[in-house]
Amino acid sequence: MTKLGFVGAGQVGATAAFSCLHQLDVDEIAIVDIQEDLAEGQSLDLAAAAAGLGEVPEVNAGGDYELLDGADVVVSTAGSPRKPGMDRLDLLEKNVGITRNVVEDTFAHAPGAHLLMVANPVDVLTYAAWTISDLPRNRVFGMGSWHDSLRLRFVLSDEGYGTDAFMLGEHGESMLVAKSAADVGDTEPDWADIQDKICGLAMNIIEKKDYTNWAPGVATANMVKAIVENEKRVLPTSTVLQGEYGIEGASLGVPAVLGQNGLERVLEYDLADEDRQQLQDSADKLKKQIGELDL
């Protein structure tokens, strides 16, 4: 039996839950939100959609974390939304408090769950959640660089390149293309232009519709599926690093193997000096933010 929990019933949480119905067999879904009417409305809509997909999961919702009892994976999208022109790190102070409540209440009721952080700024909140939980890093990790990698692959395809490439680092302004690990064809792209287009794509979406939901929802479901179905799939994941790539004291996007044990291991690619330095710079930025927290 597979049970998934979603803390946060907003656009991303609801889309992630729907995407999970598409991608894997789910027996039960629980949606928890401080806005109980929103959670219950999303659950009813989701249950009706599931019927159209030929699925019959039990869908429960409300404001009580007891609904998460027995969950295999819990996805947290709970947090204050990002507004146009707002840096993800501007959200830090407000969302750390929310994260503390999510972590404590989730593991009080679902002590065996894997917690997948999605709310922004996801890398800092992943580190905060891991610290608060006092659990091994394989149990608490985040979705960030895989979302960025989907955008990268869209841009590469649109430009006529191959799409075997991924993003590293912060899910934010210091993210980087892992250029030395990419295989996109015989012609080398203008990587600076590609990265500019990725950043422009993200802000264009925010400016036009105020939020993103489809890509992060699908990316989240990809990660949940890898865990539940023990795929041993390599996905860029916000991971608390413990010496890999010469980095400690921060969580940021690196390639990791996801399976039934959660984040099973980090893959260390032989990055070129430029990529490695950019990754270190991204880590330093995040560590500075983490250092300002009272954890």
Residues serving a catalytic function are 171
Q: 236: cis peptide before it, omega within 30°?
A: no
Enter the tokens of residue 145: 């660089």
Enter the tokens of residue 280: 């270190």
> What's the CA dihedral at 268, 273, 274, 275 to 10 degrees?
0
Closest CA to 123 of 254, 224, 278, 219: 254
Distance CA 44, CA 75 (A): 19
Rg (alpha carbons) of the chain, rounded to whole number: 18
Transcribe 52-63 into DSSP letters: HTT---EEEEES
Are 141 and 240 within 8 A, CB to CB? yes
Give CA separation, 157 vs 10, 36, 182, 185, 203, in Å.
Answer: 30, 41, 13, 11, 19
Enter the tokens of residue 122: 């996801």
Q: Where are the alpha helices (DSSP H) in 134-271?
A: 145-158, 191-209, 214-228
